[in-house]
Amino acid sequence: MAKALVKRHYVTIKRPSTAKGTKGQRTGSDTIVLANWPCSIETLSGGERELARTIVVDATHRVIGWADRTNPIRELDYLVLEGGRRLAIGHVADPEQLGLEWHLLCAEDR
């Protein structure tokens, strides 16, 4: 069973627009999937980082938060932290298979 972490961060999860312009570029604004989502954010280091990079090549953070079955998160979504910093979601897991908590592997979006 995963350890319960304090959910001290509040982030917004957004989904990029899928609308395409005449030249194939993305157009439109991104959609908010979840606003003020409580989660814990940990920077990966050492062995954890190496293990995570077997799943997501450029993983830098693990994010754990309560699941919302009505708004599932996808690998193409991204998190917006306070101050505008972005983390791209590379992997979504529900380790207990109960739909209670999501574990995300994310990479710093540059």
* Residues 45-98 pLDDT 10s: 888 888 788 788 888 999 999 988 888 888 889 999 988 899 999 999 888 878
Domains of the chain, by residue range, sit at 9-108
pLDDT recorded at residue 72:
87
**Which pLDDT belongs to residue 28?**
82
The model carries a pTM of 0.80
**Long-range CB contact pairs, 35-38, < 8 A, 24+:** 36/10, 36/11, 36/12, 37/10, 37/11, 37/12, 37/13, 37/65, 37/66, 37/68, 38/7, 38/8, 38/9, 38/10, 38/65, 38/66
Query: At the fourth CATH level, which superfamily is domain 9-108?
Result: Bacteriophage SPP1 head-tail adaptor protein (2.40.10.270)
Tell me the per-residue pLDDT of 7-35, one tens digit each, with 9 for 90 and over: 788 999 999 888 888 887 778 888 899 99
